[in-house]
Amino acid sequence: MVAIGGYFSLTVRLWNLVYFRDREVPFTLFLSFAVCVLGWMFSLAFMINASMTSDHIVS
């Protein structure tokens, strides 16, 4: 999940660099940063949820 989030954020950043090179650069940088943070939070929550459910299943 971490690799998927990182790949998606990198794709968004490259897409912004290609298509929005001369306009609204701060907004696109903020958008790519927000996507990266959201992907990291989602992967972290998914790992915590998976570990908790596996602990419940084991116990």
In this structure, is residue 31 part of a structural domain?
yes
Report pLDDT digits (tens) over 14-57.
776 666 565 666 777 777 788 888 888 888 888 888 777 766 65
Q: Which residues constitute the domain of residue 32?
A: 2-54
In this structure, is residue 41 part of a structural domain?
yes
Q: CA separation (Å) from 52 to 38, 41, 45, 47, 49?
A: 21, 16, 10, 9, 5
pLDDT of residue 56: 60
**How many domains, in total, are found in the chain?**
1
Q: What is the pTM of this model?
A: 0.41
The DSSP line for 3-40 is HHHHHHHHHHHHHHHHHSSSS-HHHHHHHHHHHHHHHH
In this structure, is residue 59 part of a structural domain?
no
pLDDT of residue 4: 67
